[in-house]
């Protein structure tokens, strides 16, 4: 097993579902919390996390995101978070990452959201030799249609680095239908899309799943809760899934991975990516996410390699597929 763990650590990996601010190191988060009230609030959130069902766990996670958002106040903070995130991925032998983030302005709009994106791109370029990074811009479920349109415009403006559009945020808010015009435009303009789907076990969420599947985004995130019919449609239409084991376990309140939906889709040879979601807040890294699944479902080195090769096809920046597959092949030949 130590050998397999080492294999998962050293194999070149790709990360397709990572929320930039959710990747913040916990030490950095603590440093950015300047008031003692905020420190206490974070401690209380940590302490209370494990009590309650999926809905209350999700509410806890989103309170933490609100706290995080309130203490990231300038471009230097975002440069630091990006730098540390890329360093952590490099340490974990990630060769290609698609970071997603919701553009934001600072200083009551004096520093516009275009500056936020430029600050991240500046760091991406700094690390280009060690890791290839691309951006996906997130639309938050609480935003207005106008704000979402602005995000689409930004995605087009920074197209060399921005490779897609995401819908994320508190899954209690069912707003996919509201954003459909933006996502349709994204499709018309050949911009890839990824939508968070089925994060909560309630009826409203299951109803929204149908709208999302009808839209047929380029990829789907999570898909924790679904009907049999929805599951079959996604399999039949081969819509790739981004699965985030630690995050899914935590929010779904599962005790171990045997019940995780990875197995079901894997057995169906469905296009899949294993991802971290919020590596800092969830305290995980990509190699351990992969190793935990490998151990639970008894995958061999050959199967891990084949799995990673198929994940390369799901990359939004199609120019990078050959590069990633070649690095994987070179690594595997040396084994």
- H or E stretch covering 15: strand 13-19
Region from 14-22, 42-50, 181-189, 295-303 binding ligand 6MZ, contact rule CB under 6 A? 14-22
Q: Which residues contact 254 (CB under 8 A, 6 or more apart)?
A: 248, 260
- Single residue of 82, 133, 138, 246 touching ligand 6MZ by CB under 6 A: 138
Told to judge if 199 belongs to the known catalytic residues of this protein, a careful annotator would answer: yes
Q: Least Å distance between CB 269 and ligand 6MZ?
A: 26
Among 258, 297, 295, 256, residue whose Cα is nearest residue 1:
295
Site for ligand 6MZ contains 200 (CB under 6 A): no
Contact 236, 257 (CB under 8 A): no
Find how far residue 14's CA is from the centre of its chain. 12
Output the six-digit token pair for 149. Answer: 């349109």
Contact mark string toward ligand 6MZ, 286..315, x via CB under 6 A:
------------------------------
Cβ at position 108, least distance to ligand 6MZ in Å: 18
Q: Which H helix or E strand runs over 333? A: helix 321-333
- Residues between 145 and 174 with contacts to ligand 6MZ, criterion CB under 6 A: 168-169
State the DSSP code for 200.
S
Nearest residue (CB) to ligand 6MZ, 68 versus 132: 68
- CA–CA separation, 252 and 194 (whole Å): 21
- Cβ-in-10-Å burial (0-12, 13-18, 19+) of 28 comes to middle
What span, in angstroms and rounded, lies between the C-alpha atoms of 315 and 289? 19
Is 140 among the residues that bind ligand 6MZ (CB under 6 A)? yes
- For the beta carbon of residue 46, count every other beta carbon within 10 angstroms: 12
Binding region for ligand 6MZ (CB under 6 A) out of 19-27, 127-135, 144-152, 295-303: 19-27
- Return the number of the residue (22 or 245) whose C-beta is nearest ligand 6MZ: 22
- Residue 198 lies near ligand 6MZ (rule: CB under 6 A): no
Residues 233-292 that bind ligand 6MZ (CB under 6 A): 247, 251, 277-278
Q: List residues with catalytic annotation.
A: 199
- By CB under 6 A, name the binding residues for ligand 6MZ: 19-22, 61, 65, 101-102, 138, 140, 168-169, 196, 199, 247, 251, 277-278
């Amino acid at each position: 097993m130590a050998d397999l763990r080492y294999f998962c650590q050293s194999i070149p990996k790709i990360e397709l579902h990572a929320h930039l601010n959710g990747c913040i190191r916990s030490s950095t988060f603590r440093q950015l919390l300047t008031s003692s009230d905020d420190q206490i609030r974070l401690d209380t959130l940590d302490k209370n996390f494990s009590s309650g069902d999926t809905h209350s766990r999700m509410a806890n996670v989103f309170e933490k995101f609100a706290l995080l958002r309130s203490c990231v106040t300038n471009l230097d903070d975002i440069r630091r978070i990006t730098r540390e995130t890329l360093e952590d991925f490099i340490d974990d032998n990630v060769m290609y990452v698609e970071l997603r983030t919701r553009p934001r302005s600072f200083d009551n709009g004096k520093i516009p959201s275009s500056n936020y994106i430029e600050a991240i791109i500046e760091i991406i370029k700094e690390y280009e030799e060690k890791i290839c990074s691309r951006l996906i811009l997130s639309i938050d479920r609480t935003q207005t249609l106008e704000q979402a349109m602005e995000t689409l415009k930004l995605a087009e403006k920074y197209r060399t680095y921005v490779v897609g559009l995401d819908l994320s945020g508190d899954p209690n808010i069912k707003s996919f239908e509201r954003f459909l015009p933006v996502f349709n435009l994204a499709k018309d303009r050949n911009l890839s899309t990824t939508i968070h789907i089925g994060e909560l076990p309630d009826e409203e969420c299951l109803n929204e799943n149908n709208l999302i599947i009808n839209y047929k985004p380029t990829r789907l995130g999570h898909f924790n809760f679904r009907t049999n019919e929805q599951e079959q449609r996604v399999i039949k239409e081969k819509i790739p899934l981004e699965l985030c084991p630690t995050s899914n376990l935590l929010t779904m309140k599962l005790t171990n991975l045997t019940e995780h939906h990875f197995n079901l889709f894997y057995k169906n040879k469905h296009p899949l990516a294993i991802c971290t979601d919020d590596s800092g807040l969830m305290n995980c890294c990509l190699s351990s996410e992969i190793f935990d699944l490998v151990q639970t479902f008894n995958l061999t080195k050959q199967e891990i390699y084949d799995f990673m090769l198929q994940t390369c096809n799901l990359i939004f920046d199609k120019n990078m597929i050959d590069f990633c597959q070649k690095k994987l092949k070179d690594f595997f030949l040396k084994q």
